[in-house]
Amino acid sequence: MKILITGPPGVGKTTLVREIIAIKPDIFSGFITEEMRDKIGERIGFKVANLRGEERILASKDSDSPKRVGKYGVDVRSFEELVIPILESATKDKRILVIDEIGKMELISHRFRELVWEIFLSQARVLATIKLSPDPFVDNLKRCHDAQLFNLRRSNYNEVKQKIISLLGL
């Protein structure tokens, strides 16, 4: 089963995933993507963290990376160092794989794309956030035979949360 959560930026997709993980942390593996903010609260980039707390920079305004999404330079190597080993072991791991998120920055990594596709073709259980805007790769993931897509809004947050908790048997 692949549970996909989509919705506009800032609606609470990562917060929802964190709340679900907190119910029974030992049954999950994977990673979370978080904003980085400066002292005055301005967003300066994004980091990726595995569920054990190890972190890497995903993207920042200060990066000189030629791979860019808006004003952010994406550090593909740093991202891959943390995430690729998790994805490579996902089909052998019996835990639920958390992928937060399948978005523009993450999809710059060709290896990430390959592994996510392999995982979606497997029997692995996945809880993922996925970008809302159309994209051929993302659209194919959303159409996978065992994918269930939830379009999160502030007005349906609790309803979506309860449905996902039920689907996961938590």
DSSP characters over 59-109: EETT---S-EETTEEE-HHHHHHHHHHHHHTTTT--SEEEEEEESTTGGG-
Contacts of 23 (CB under 8 A, 6+ apart): 165, 170
pLDDT confidence of residue 10: 87
| Bridge partners of residue 32, in order along the sequence | 49
SS3 assignment, position 158: helix
Tell me what pLDDT residue 78 has: 96
Around Cβ 60, how many Cβ atoms within 10 Å? Answer: 19
Low-confidence ranges of the chain (pLDDT < 70): none
- At 10 the three-state DSSP class reads coil
Pick 2-32+77-168's CATH classification: 3.20.20.100, 3.40.50.1970, 3.40.640.10, 3.40.50.300.
3.40.50.300
**Per-residue confidence (pLDDT) for residue 63, from 0 to 100:** 94
* Residue ranges of domains in the chain: 2-32+77-168
